[in-house]
């Protein structure tokens, strides 16, 4: 699902909400989440999952073209942990087609 599809679905489910207002709601939520993660806060959405920032230690990497060793510095990365309810819904979803 794309951001545009999310906005359209939100507008469809709420008759009094225009597409422009739905876009503002989605943008506001994403902006608040981004700002919280940038400050190092944890975001928890019950039944869905949680977002947090994890630190990756410095390590030695490789340049894929030359194979030369490259120092990769410490960095922070966003991490998502799925909630129990979402995991259960995904696991009992429709059968995969082969």
Q: Is 82:46 a contact under the CB 8 Å cutoff?
A: no
Whole-prediction pTM value? 0.76
At residue 96, the pLDDT reads: 59
pLDDT, one tens digit per residue, over 26-43 is 999 999 999 999 999 999
Q: Domains (ranges, CATH) in the chain?
A: 3-91 (4.10.520.10)
User: Which residue matches tokens 């410490």?
Assistant: 74
Pick out the chain residues at pLDDT < 70: 95-98
Q: Give burial (CB, 10 Å; 0-12/13-18/19+) of 43.
A: middle
At residue 64, the pLDDT reads: 93
| Separation CA 2–CA 22 (nearest Å) | 14
The token duo for 32 is: 């608040």
């Amino acid at each position: 699902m794309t951001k545009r599809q999310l906005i359209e679905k939100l507008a469809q489910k709420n008759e009094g909400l225009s597409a422009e207002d739905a876009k503002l709601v989605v943008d506001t939520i994403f902006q608040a989440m981004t700002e919280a993660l940038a400050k190092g806060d944890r975001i928890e959405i019950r039944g869905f999952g949680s977002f947090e920032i994890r630190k990756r230690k410095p390590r030695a990497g490789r340049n894929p073209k030359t194979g030369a060793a490259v120092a990769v510095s410490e960095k922070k990365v966003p991490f998502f942990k799925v909630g129990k309810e979402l995991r259960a819904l995904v696991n009992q979803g429709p059968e995969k087609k082969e």
